[in-house]
Amino acid sequence: MEKKIPSETIDTLARSIFKEASGYGFGQVDIIRLINVLMDLCTDVESATGTAEEEARPDIGAFTGPPVELPIVGERIRIRPFDSARDTRLLEQWLPDKYGRYFVLSCATAQLITIDALTSSENNHLGIVTLLDGKPIGAMAFLDHSQKQKRAELRKLIGDMASRGKGLAEEATKLWIEYGVRNLNLEKIYVSTLQTQISNIKLNERIGFRVEGLLRNEVTIDGSRHDVLRMGLCIGAP
């Protein structure tokens, strides 16, 4: 059975592709040519391999179970508690690029918040991602945790440049969700990210997130406006 892509995902990807193409200088005729090439590529792939089978649904139940304490350990990484005395400097080193600054951007006010405000709020929960040998490579956070609504916003950051692109963010995200569900009793987790590329969307969908919307030109970083992709994960819901 062919997998049915959610219409929200298709709309988000279409807007992302259109924005990138327009920025490059594509006109209307160029966009039509691009669509024709994409159609040709789809025909070639189907002719060579046949229709792809539906991917297995993410096992949301894997996140549930009795409480677990930090550090929580995976196959290649571990997540330990955030310690302001030794970890504040790490965050300061990881924040200069746009993804780092987005880690401390308030969705409510679209303003950058200080590291002190981020780490001192009782509604925020932070962890440091390390390799198994203890080398810190990034940070995870649950922001604006509402105990009443049982929801929070997940933020992830692989700050160590050499550790990006290796699938470590996906592993860290799964571990952090497991911690949030088991220890914070979260039932709804959402991510708001600047990364609207196909690879990032598929990464989140493999975990169980679904596209909820694309906020166009939502935030300004370094004088440029950026779209923000919103995806949500509901524990125990289809």
pLDDT in tens, 75-97: 999 999 999 999 999 998 998 87
Mean model confidence pLDDT for the chain: 81
Q: How far apart are CA 121 and CA 106, in angstroms?
A: 13
Same domain, 134 and 222: yes
Same domain, 100 and 137: yes
Same domain, 121 and 26: no
Does the pLDDT at position 51 exceed 50?
Answer: no
Same domain, 119 and 180: yes
Q: Averaged over 4-32, what is the pLDDT?
A: 77
Same domain, 146 and 211: yes
Partners of 214 in beta bridges? 229
Q: Averaged over 147-167, what is the pLDDT?
A: 92
User: What is the band of 200 on the pLDDT scale with cuts at 50, 70, 90?
Assistant: confident
Q: Where are the beta strands (DSSP E) in the chain?
A: 72-73, 77-81, 125-131, 136-146, 151-158, 188-193, 210-221, 224-234
Q: Is 65 left (phi over 0), alpha (psi -120 to 50) or beta?
A: left
Overall number of domains in the chain? 2
Does the pLDDT at position 54 exceed 50?
Answer: no
What's the half-sphere exposure (Cβ side, CA atoms, 13 Å) at 6?
13
CATH number of the domain at 230, please: 3.40.630.30
Give the whole-number percent of the chain exceeding pLDDT 70: 79
Same domain, 194 and 157: yes
Domain that holds residue 146: 58-234
Same domain, 105 and 39: no
Q: What is the pLDDT of residue 238?
A: 52
Same domain, 62 and 51: no
Q: What is the pLDDT of residue 44?
A: 62
Q: Averaged over 115-141, what is the pLDDT?
A: 94
pLDDT top residue among 157 and 203: 157
